[in-house]
Amino acid sequence: MPIVKLYANLRKLAGTKELIVTESTIGAVLNELVKQNPPLGDVILENGKLRQHIVITLNGHNAVDLNVEVNEQDIVAIFPPIAGG
């Protein structure tokens, strides 16, 4: 099963660092995630679309297309707005 990893303040909102989700698409994974953890909704999505500055990677590669398939063994990482240097 694919794994979703959460970072920074998303962990506090979800009460966990990672979750198991069903195989689907990035968009469907996000919807499932928000359904399981409603507090994440306002942080990640805005009117069903990704909020500005949210970074999602699929196996370490930036995922910008929410229709991309998420398969068995895949790791989806979600980062809230972060900065530094």
With beta carbons less than 8 A apart as the criterion, state whether 5 and 17 touch. Answer: yes
**Which range binds another protein by CB under 8 A, 20-28, 32-40, 51-59, 65-73?**
51-59
**Which range binds another protein by CB under 8 A, 26-34, 50-58, 65-73?**
50-58
- Does residue 81 belong to the site contacting another protein (CB under 8 A)? yes
How much helix, strand and coil, in percent to the nearest 5, is found in the chain? Answer: 30, 30, 40
- Does residue 67 belong to the site contacting another protein (CB under 8 A)? no
What does the binding site for another protein look like in residue numbers (CB under 8 A)?
5, 7-9, 11, 53, 55, 57, 59-62, 64, 77, 79-85
